Chain A
Amino acid sequence: MTYTTFSVDIDADGIALLTIDLPDASMNVWNGALIEEFGKWVDDFTTNEAVKGAVITSGKKSGFLAGADLTMLGGAKANSTKEAFDQAFALNALLRKMESGGQSAKDLSSGKASAKPVACALNGLALGGGLELALACHYRVVADNPKIQLGMPEVMVGLLPGGGGTQRTPRLIGLQNAAMMIIQGKSLDPATAKAQGLVHDVAPAADVIANAKAWVKANPKATAPWDKKDFKFPGGAGAMDPRAVQLFVGLNAMAHKESKGNFDAIKAILSCLYEGSILPFDTALRVESKYFTKLLSGSQAKNMIRTLFINKQAAEKGAGRPAGVPAVEIKKVGVLGGGLMGSGITHVTVKGGMEVVVLDRSLEDANKAVDYSRKIIDKAVSRGKMTKEAGDAFMARITPTDNYDDLKDVDLIIEAVFERPDVKADVIKKAEAVIRPDVVFASNTSTLPITGLAKNSSRPELFVGLHFFSPVEKMPLLEIIPGEHTGERALAAAFDYNAKIKKTPIVVKDVRGFFTNRVFPPYMGEAMKLVTEGVKPALIENAAKSLGMPIGPLALLDETTLQLGYDVMQSTKKELGDAYQPSGTEDFMELMVVKLGRKGRRFGSGFYDYDDKGERLGLWQGMAEHYPLAEDQPSVDEVKQRLLYIQLIATAQCFEEEVVRDPQSADLGAIFGWGFAPYTGGPMSYIDTVGLENFVRTADNLAQRFGNRFAPPKSFRDMADKGETLYKAAA
């Protein structure tokens, strides 16, 4: 038989070498074709007497197998629950057949029957279904490259490892190790995998196939550990073993508090581990597939796959980049300003493989960027995450200067100087005087419109906005802002630069606040309004956290400082004059910043009290003197709804005004920009999931009760009337 997704070579000993090598793909994944052909091969293998055993490996340099094709899973259609289960169980069934040789568990455990040996030669990364295939083999050899990842990251997209991963893993490495691996989606390196018992052998890459074959030859009859009569879970299992009981009490609590109970996949994984550890192996596999079916038919996995995998990857590959513009080669970048943003930008640029000339008014100021990176690199070196040589090489790629002439051979300028138009105008002129005429000038700003800044440029078509988030080396989003005159090459350069620093980019319109800073202030404003209404601050914080926000809004306001919010408010007032629209939090900010001096964590106090080291002590109890606690506190659900809908409405307004181009960008920007609950897939996905009609109705209700700021944008009302969804309407 010939196959298209893999080759099979049978050697003189009758051992088949199955080399998976999907045509026209850079990486092996489980797709429909591979599942179908692999199933046929398993049928043939178990019955063909000429074949004595098998070794499975990959023909790709990129790795062994990277899991399931998520576009296939995302698009899976089933007419009934039974059909969905059958689809989900297909991979489990065929892997189990390979493992058991088609023999019954009873015959295997009594020793009456055994399977033909199958070994796995892992020449590179094995993730998700790739690792699960390996685990269904009787023996695993992995190449000794410490960079090889062995893991099951399904949880990241709202799924569970549905190819036996939740069952074979704990039976090999114990429930605790398995839970850590599967719930956190973290990979093991080969040495750790060997130490835990997930793989049998770590060998030089050149030897993995030979070692696997040697094992097959030496073990003509194979039985999986869990098919043996005396099998026991390492470390205990089930509902009766005190070790497992203690483990599950702790695991449930930790998973519950970390996920706030919001992630269906985490709960399903825990249940697979718990219930599966009580059941015989074949039943446990079926239960795993049932939990998988439930996840796949729910909204979370679909939304998470779409936003966190498909759309994120597309954005990072440059989906918004103008087509047909040749790649802009960027080897050396000039960063203007050695402050916090300039330092962060310098760091990620060097990390992205480029050289940086960082310029400030004095060498001393420019050196702050050097110190910033030095601190990070020293830490990495001291923790053994980087060699000293690599650290030195990293630092050698940063050149501090106070001399504009040093910018003459850079391929891109990113300015991150003080957020004042006159200061920006000055550096634009000075830099443009020395750089090559084709060099793109990017301005990092969170507030100043790009078109206005571009007026200071002699080549506005090469002028583009980049909005980095702080701390730059940690925050994953990059807003790319074309101004009125920004040309395609400048936009392309922004994407080509981003491809190197590996942020998630979205293109946003050149309006005040761009996208994320249009949504963030109303969200913060709502939290402040709740305080002024006498809602317990703890309830506000906990409601936000239970929504899935990483930190409470009041703590966040303390971090970004109330002073900043106050300054922005003052400057907006000044700039807009009579056109200024009061947000309703003016008096409150005035009280906190001016009268009470509680300006934020950096200043020693805010919504919270802090100790000398800036450690949060607790919510400031004095707030009730200024805003007495309401007799009737709202329910947590009401507070959650207000904090959620204020974000949804502001996002919807941005979408209506085309501040973001598509629902994809809005969802990515929300999750990676300000930490919007990732399990929803983003605000647009959330609205589609609850339904536009439901969204409009809830927003109307909130507007009636709490004010017009909750009123849904007209276009959303129209789409609701037409029964549309945001993603379909935009497609």
Chain B
Amino acid sequence: MTEAYIYDAVRSPRGKGRPDGALHEITPIDLAAQVLAAIRDRNGLSGEEIEDVAFGCVSPVGEQGAVITRTAVLAAGYPHTTSGIQVNRFCGSGLEASNIAAAKVKSGECDLAVGGGIESMSRVPMGSDGGAWPIDPRSAIANYFIPQGISADLIATRYGYSRDDVDAYAVESQKRAGRAWAEKRFARSILPIRDIIGEVVLDHDELMRPETDMQSLGALAPAFQMMGTMMPGFDDIAIMRYPDVEKINHVHHAGNSSGIVDGSAAVLIGTKEAGEKYGLKARARIVSMASIGSEPAIMLTGPEFAAQKALARAGMDNSDIDVWELNEAFASVVLRFMEAMNVDHSDINVNGGAIAMGHPLGATGAMILGTVLDELERSGKSTALTTLCIGAGMGTATIIERVN
């Protein structure tokens, strides 16, 4: 089969996903379009060479509706011959979109394609698209629906992660992100975002708090205790699904969970021949890709299974991976993954993650694919596995290998 190569990765900084966030005034179309324009322009392309663009978006309604990717492609000044598709695999959307772009290249459908994602959480709030899963009684009850925060606390309870364990993880994430920014480790990927008169409105990840310590986190109240134990009492449903649990230990809060932010990212993927034709230098080869489904109530344990599948498809094992990147949706998700996959903390999320910098749902997967590529190049290491936990019990993973 044709090999797919990553030629470039660009991302916006992440702005606070609130009305006072720096990117709030930027429309989702504009945010996505600036990223799309950048990945075209900095690679000396006209846009015509890019045959298809797949962008993840988790709340594709309102101004993110109606296939936002196509609208953004046109807004970025691509020729009308470049098509666009909007992809939704919840939190894995950005990586899935990149995998779709890679699959199009590998299958021979496209020579050059872009994957990526967009989520303006300040303008289109999470959950705006509704959905039958939690509200249609037939699906909610059959699947033991509980919100993700309860699932994350359930993971902590089942695998014995204390409040101190998850808080310590969060402190480290902030520290690593702070160091990465201080050492300009993201410089190659970050695209400052500009307003309509061309002024930069944001050039760094706005949410970070590198000074975070155990004491400041300790002051935060558990965020999911109320909905878990009182109204409507999701803990009982978690326990019905996992009846060996006596009581849910509510350990997660805003400080050890991913932040709500605005952001967009793009990854340029193509065949070897396309690279040669357009004078592009390949940065990494896509080794394997995988998506899986896992038990939907605990919901967030998918990464280990997705990783195992991607490793198996590549004929690899854990020891072949130099750098691991797992989206920090909640601290317990990463702690569980490290335990299940026997991964050392020093090899995973080495430049921090969503707890420090935020999780723009539809874009994160593409962002962290770029982050891990930057890290391979910085550290001179070879192989990386990127994965995310996903709503309703899924996981997506991608293994890449540096090529120069």
Contact = CB atoms under 8 A, between A and B. Distances in A.
Interface in A121-161: none
Nearest to A252: B140
B136 interface: yes
A250 B232 contact: yes
A87 interface: no
Contacts of B247: 618
B233 A257 contact: yes
Contacts, number: 89
A507 B348 CA distance: 69
A250 B141 contact: no
Given A257-B236, A257-B240, A249 B134 contact: yes
A267 B246 contact: no
Q: Is the interface of B mostly helix, strand, loop or mixed?
A: loop
Contacts of B243: 538-539, 542-543, 546, 636
A260 B141 CA distance: 10
A681 B137 CA distance: 24
Contact of B240 (A245, A546, A618, A633): A546
A240 interface: yes
B141 A261 contact: yes
B145 A253 contact: yes
Given A538-B244, A543-B243, A546-B243, A249 B140 contact: yes
Given A239-B130, A253-B140, A257-B236, A536 B244 contact: yes
Given A536-B244, A538-B245, A546-B240, A245 B135 contact: yes
Nearest to A608: B246
B244 A253 contact: no
B234 interface: yes
Q: How large is the interface on A (under 10, 10 to 19, 20 to 34, 35 or more residues)?
A: 20 to 34
B144 interface: yes
A619 B247 CA distance: 10
Contacts of B137: 248, 251-252, 255, 267, 270-271, 274
Nearest to B144: A256
A300 to B, nearest CB: 15
A568 interface: no
B239 interface: yes
Interface in A239-285: 239-240, 244-245, 248-257, 260-261, 267, 270-271, 274-275
Contact of B234 (A253, A270, A537, A618): A253
Given A542-B239, A542-B240, A543-B243, A274 B135 contact: yes
Contacts of A271: 136-138
Given A239-B130, A261-B141, A274 B136 contact: yes
Interface string A690-715: 00000000000000000000000000
Contacts of B141: 252, 255-256, 261, 267, 270
B1 interface: no
B135 A252 contact: yes
Contacts of A248: 134-137, 140
Nearest to B135: A248
Nearest to A247: B135
Interface in A64-80: none
Contact of A618 (B131, B146, B246): B246
A253 B233 contact: yes
B233 A254 contact: yes
Nearest to B236: A257
A546 B338 CA distance: 33
A539 B135 CA distance: 29
Contacts of A239: 130-132, 135-136
Nearest to A542: B243
A257 B232 CA distance: 9
Interface in B207-257: 231-234, 236-237, 239-240, 243-247
Contacts of A270: 137, 141
Among B132, B138, B141, B233, the most chain A Cβ lie within 10 Å of the Cβ of B141
B138 A249 contact: no
Given A239-B130, A249-B140, A539 B244 contact: yes
Given A239-B130, A240-B130, A546-B243, A253 B232 contact: yes
Nearest to B146: A253
Contacts of B233: 253-254, 257
Nearest to B137: A270
Interface in A201-251: 239-240, 244-245, 248-251
B232 A254 contact: yes
Contacts of B231: 250
Contacts of A244: 135
Given A619-B246, A636-B243, A253 B237 contact: yes
A227 B236 CA distance: 41
Interface in B256-301: none
A15 to B, nearest CB: 42
A638 to B, nearest CB: 11
A543 to B, nearest CB: 6
A664 B245 CA distance: 37
Nearest to A629: B244
A275 B138 CA distance: 10
B245 A256 contact: no
B140 A256 contact: yes
Nearest to A272: B137
A256 B132 CA distance: 16
B147 to A, nearest CB: 8
B135 A633 contact: no
Contacts of B130: 239-240, 245
Nearest to A241: B130
A257 B237 CA distance: 6
Contacts of B134: 248-249, 252
A375 to B, nearest CB: 29
Interface of B: 127, 130-132, 134-138, 140-141, 144-146, 231-234, 236-237, 239-240, 243-247
Interface of A: 239-240, 244-245, 248-257, 260-261, 267, 270-271, 274-275, 536-539, 541-543, 546, 618-619, 633, 636
Given A256-B140, A257-B232, A539-B244, 8 more contacts: A248-B134, A252-B137, A253-B145, A253-B237, A261-B240, A539-B243, A618-B247, A619-B246
27 contacts: A248-B135, A248-B137, A249-B134, A249-B135, A249-B140, A249-B145, A249-B232, A250-B232, A251-B137, A253-B233, A253-B237, A255-B137, A256-B140, A256-B144, A257-B232, A270-B141, A271-B138, A274-B136, A274-B137, A275-B136, A539-B243, A541-B246, A542-B240, A542-B244, A546-B240, A546-B243, A633-B244
